[in-house]
Chain A
Amino acid sequence: MKVGSNLEKVLADGHFAVTAELGPPQSADGDLIRSKTKHFRGFVDAVNITDNQTAIVRMSSIATAAILATEGLESVIQVTCRDRNRIAIQSDLLGAAALGIRNVLCLSGDHQSFGNHQGSKNVYDIDSIQLISIVRSMRDEARFASGDEIKVPPSMFIGAVANPFADPFEFRVIRLAKKVAAGADFIQTQAVFDVPRFQEYMGMVRDRGLDQKVAILAGIIPVRSVKALAYMKSEVAGMSVPDGLIQRMASAAAPKAEGIKITVELIEQVRQIPGVRGVHLMPVMWESSIPTVCEDAGLLPRPAPAGLSSVPEATRASATTPENLSIPTS
């Protein structure tokens, strides 16, 4: 075990992992986050906290994760390269680690032209692969990107994303290999609707032996409506949604139940693919679907949590002895 997070432990123990995404509010409403915890607690191994997704200003992922920790939930903080340079990102990682956060997901980030501050300057001092390598060197070599020594290094289980549905398709596996070489411990993919293409991608992943080096969690967006599917197909860059799926939702007598059924089927299908070690649910503000999806897909009960390290003493101890990090919370 590198850091002893619950997610790492679940994967290390050979369980089929479940993570799910929570989008922080566009306000300072901490209670809203607390009110959503019931959709996650006991249903997932860790909660992904997005970092100003689609470039819309939201509560910071670290602050949200700190609130979730007080509620007994482990987080995966997302960190994008869009808004912060290497100074700010490393500073945030130190702070996150000191707060007991043990999982980080490194991303490029949606371009600011999608959001509500289109006139902002984008940063991109570093890219997501360079970010992975910075986090790894901070953790494993106790070195900042500058090479300076870190006395108490941040201990983070390092995640990255992969989009098997973007182009150029053949480059996607090369990019994954670069992320693994840079230090990624786990991967969360873009939402899978196009199972054949994902199977083809996973075949290429296995050919390179990457599935042996990194834990791949297949992305799943619970299907809410035919409108949502059509929107993702036409408006979201880098998504592949088969027409058959849209037709099936359009002709369903009970669309809501059908959407859950499709979601569960997708989970069952990706679970069969060798090298897939978990699922990452992205409910897109429909967090209440998580318990049903997990139940119907036979993902419950989840393994007992490894525990959170929200206690300051534990945080200090973890810096030098990550194995001692786990403190049972429930």
Chain B
Amino acid sequence: MIIAEQKPFQSIVENLAGYNRVLILGCGTCVTVCMAGGEKEVAVLAEQIRLYQRELPEEDRYQIVEATIERQCDREFFAPVEELIKDSDCVLSMACGVGVQHISEHFTDKIVIPALDTKFFGATEEPGTWVERCAGCGSCILDLTGGICPVARCSKSLFNGPCGGSQEGACEISRDVECAWQLIYDRLKTLGRLDSLEKMIEIKDWTTARDGGPRKVVREDVKA
């Protein structure tokens, strides 16, 4: 899923100054699972903002409205909040960056502000800890690396083994960061596939990644 984290409260409210009616819009998918922008987080943020507003002069206060939809990255879920959005002069989106933009693209006359910082594609390691697992580079090599991605998990995105900074399983940048290539080595050893590490992984074509420009997937078989 996409992992996100709420921005510092102060930076959120600074962005809301001057509006009359702000819709805090949650998203029911990834950010609900990673507990950053679902219905519950919308309610908590709304309450925090209401408390904060008590300290503001009457004329600086704005109305807070709450809503959460299934997915902000899918237009088919917009219908229940169309009117709420039209009646607000600002949408504070608690979705990932995709949701924020998708709301902006659809409601072209509304200001849409992000309440979250979108972090990465990751997994829940344990409650309260989410870890990056995929860099979305567009051409997967997990078949070559024992199911552990060096693009996302090696600090240098190396393709042909660990650099000289790998020690006791840790990356040179921090002892708290696992060396992806140690993990790859251990996994392939367990699987009896160490020989596959002898093969050179050739220079990557990054055109499939963000480096090739904004990407699009078109599936004719799915099109209406």
Contacts and interface: CB of A to CB of B under 8 A. Distances in A.
B161 A161 contact: no
A166 B164 CA distance: 6
Contacts of A174: 161, 194, 197-198
A127 B165 contact: no
B56 interface: no
A167 interface: yes
A66 interface: no
Given A181-B200, A238-B167, A127 B159 contact: yes
Interface string B166-190: 1111111110000101100110000
A174 B160 CA distance: 10
B166 A166 contact: yes
Nearest to A189: B164
Interface residues of A, number: 37
A238 B164 contact: yes
Contacts of B155: 111, 113, 122
Nearest to A145: B203
Nearest to B163: A108
Given A111-B156, A167-B168, A125 B197 contact: no
B198 A178 contact: yes
B162 interface: yes
A182 interface: yes
A130 B166 contact: no
Main secondary structure of the interface of B (DSSP, over half): loop
A130 B165 contact: no
B202 interface: yes
A237 B165 CA distance: 5
B124 to A, nearest CB: 26
Contact of B172 (A86, A111, A134, A145): A111
Contacts of B159: 127, 129-130
Contacts of B161: 129, 171, 174-175, 178
B200 to A, nearest CB: 6
A237 B158 contact: no
B88 interface: no
B160 A167 contact: no
A171 B200 contact: no
Contacts of B174: 113
Contacts of B167: 166-167, 237-238
Nearest to B195: A174
A174 B200 CA distance: 11
Given A86-B203, A130-B203, A175 B160 contact: yes
B192 to A, nearest CB: 14
A228 B158 CA distance: 30
Interface in B142-168: 155-168
B162 A166 contact: yes
Contacts of B170: 237
B156 A163 contact: no
Contacts of A181: 200
Nearest to B203: A130
Interface in B198-215: 198, 200, 202-204, 206
Nearest to A133: B200
Contact of A167 (B156, B179, B200): B179
A130 B162 contact: no
A166 B162 CA distance: 9
Given A110-B172, A130-B159, A130-B160, A238 B202 contact: no
A141 B164 CA distance: 29
B198 A82 contact: no
Nearest to B179: A167
Nearest to A125: B206
Interface string A84-115: 00100000000000000000000011110110
B74 to A, nearest CB: 32
A233 to B, nearest CB: 11
Contacts of A170: 185
Given A108-B163, A130-B203, 8 more contacts: A86-B203, A109-B156, A110-B165, A111-B156, A167-B167, A167-B168, A174-B161, A238-B166
15 contacts: A108-B163, A113-B155, A126-B204, A128-B163, A130-B160, A166-B162, A166-B166, A167-B179, A168-B166, A171-B161, A171-B185, A181-B200, A237-B167, A238-B166, A238-B167
Interface of B: 155-174, 179, 181-182, 185-186, 194, 197-198, 200, 202-204, 206
